[in-house]
Structure 1
Amino acid sequence: MQLVLMLGVRLNPINKGHIASQCPNKRTMIMMESGDIETEEEEDSDSMHPLEDASDVEHAVEGQALVIMRALHVQVREDADEVQRENIFYTRCHVKDRACGLIIDGGSCVNVASKLMVDKLGLHTQKHHTPYKLQWLNECGEVKVNKQVLVSLCIGKYRDEVLCDVVPMSASHMLFGRPWQFDRRVIHDGYRNRYSFVKDGKKVTLAPLTPTQVFEDHI
């Protein structure tokens, strides 16, 4: 899938290395009599997904859609629904009992709410403390971002309030970037494209729509 979005992308510096004695991924090497070598991982190797439980996974909500957004550039292959390697995270959430599209993108340095969603739902906005200009990828060219909105949303049992910049956006109703991930201390499972975190003392895991569902959602 290709998404026509370039929102405040920041390049992260390359992580520094570590010496062998401080390696966080230590493994035990066992030499067998046959000459074969076996690798034994640490006992807590299953801690890669400490937050996720089958009962905690929240899938996209159902309901009356707010509006039909412009279709994303989706190329659905036969095996695409099982493999999330090339897919961005896209799901649906409830805002004022209306189903709204939500994208999670770690390449964005801000959280964004679509001006169309804000206007349609009559959400209360506030002045942005640090207004800025954004070169946006739709026909309006440069946009001055001077408003924010506190959006109350829910996906299954997960309920939250997220402060977003109000921007004219056609790819989705909302986009959560690095600020949301940072504030929630999110762990991203890149293989299954799921986001896990703890909210109000409860484990939450957000699962994406499949490419076929995204395609049908936008059609």
Structure 2
Amino acid sequence: MSRNSERNPNEEDEILVVKRSLKIQSAKIEQQLENIFHTRCHIQGKVCSMIIDGGSCTNVASTMLVEKLGLTTTKHPNPYKLQWLNEGGELKVTKQAVVAFSIGKYQDEVVCDVVPIHAGHLLLGHPWQFDRCVIHDRYTNRYTFNHLGKNVTLAPLTLKQVYQDQIKLKESVEKVKKK
């Protein structure tokens, strides 16, 4: 009797399923390792796009967000120049705004520099992470911290959700440019 005739007919299928399963898990992990943390928050009852980036040395609110929601701005205590990595040139950051936001049951407020960014409405940088003693699990791309005696864990959006948000932001920016 040959070896092939003794083989379980489902054996090859089982190996194939395991390989596919491992490949899917590996792809999900790689996607998180390569992605900036995107989520959604509520600001004055409006759904807004938020990015958390520990590499940013400041918290930022987009000029569009501040103008649309009529947020109060104050003079920046230490104005500074920001150099874009494109043809946009140099920009002087002269305003700040206190932004109250919520993500699920988590409610907070943060002082942000007001900058014309289009990647999101709100960017929480290193100052927010430091002030909240945030722990970033780079493997799952989740942020965990204690707020008012309760543990909070923030999970990222899926890539599809991030894409949808980016399309909406792009459309909003184009509407503002047309006006």
- How does the TM-score come out when normalised to structure 2? 0.75
Aligned partner (choices 108, 121, 129) of residue 56 of structure 2:
108
Distance 1:143 1:193, change over 3 A: same
1:82: how far off?
Answer: 2.6
Q: Which has the larger radius of gyration?
A: 2
> What residue in structure 2 maps to residue 159 of structure 1?
107
State whether residues 188 and 196 of structure 1, in contact with CA within 8 Å, keep that contact through their aligned partners in structure 2: yes
Name the residue aligned to 1:95.
43
Task: Please tell me the residue identity of whatever aligns with 1:96.
Answer: Q
Q: Which one of 64, 83, 103 corresponds to residue 135 of structure 1? A: 83
Question: Is the CA contact (8 Å cut-off) linking 2:36 and 2:51 kept in structure 1?
Answer: yes
The one-character-per-residue Cα deviations of 1:14-61 (angstroms, maximum 9, x if unpaired) are: xxxxxxxxxxxxxxxxxxxxxxxxxxxxxxxxxxxxxxxxxxxxxxxx
TM alignment of 1:45-84, pairs within 5 A: 82-83=28-29, 84=32
Distance in structure 1 (CA, Å) of the matches to 2:163 and 2:39: 12
CA distance in 2, matches of 1:96, 1:80: 39
Aligned AA (1:82): K
Percent identity, aligned pairs only, is 63
Instruction: Kindly indicate whether residue 149 of structure 2 is the aligned counterpart of residue 149 of structure 1.
Output: no
Q: Secondary structure at the match of 2:131?
A: helix
Counterpart Cα distance in 2 of 1:136 and 1:154 = 29
CA RMSD of aligned residues (A): 1.6
Distance 1:161 1:87, change over 3 A: same
Gap runs ≥5 in structure 2 = 1-23, 168-179
| CA–CA distance in structure 2, aligned partners of residues 80 and 213 of structure 1 | 20
CA displacement at 1:157 relative to structure 2? 0.3
Query: 2:122 is matched by which residue type in structure 1?
Result: M
Helix, strand or coil for the counterpart of 2:96?
strand
The TM-score with structure 1 as length reference comes to 0.62
Q: How much does 1:137 deviate?
A: 4.0
Please name the residue that 2:33 is paired with: 85
Tell me, in whole angstroms, the C-alpha distance in 1 between the residues paired with 2:27 and 2:80: 38
One-letter amino acid matched to 2:158: T
1:133/1:145 contact within 8 Å kept: yes
Going from structure 1 to structure 2, the CA distance change for 1:148 and 1:80 (only over 3 Å counts) comes to farther
1:208 and 2:161 equivalent? no
Tell me which amino acid in the other structure corresponds to 1:198.
N
Paired residue total: 142
The residue identity in structure 2 corresponding to 1:145 is V
SS in 2 for 1:205: strand
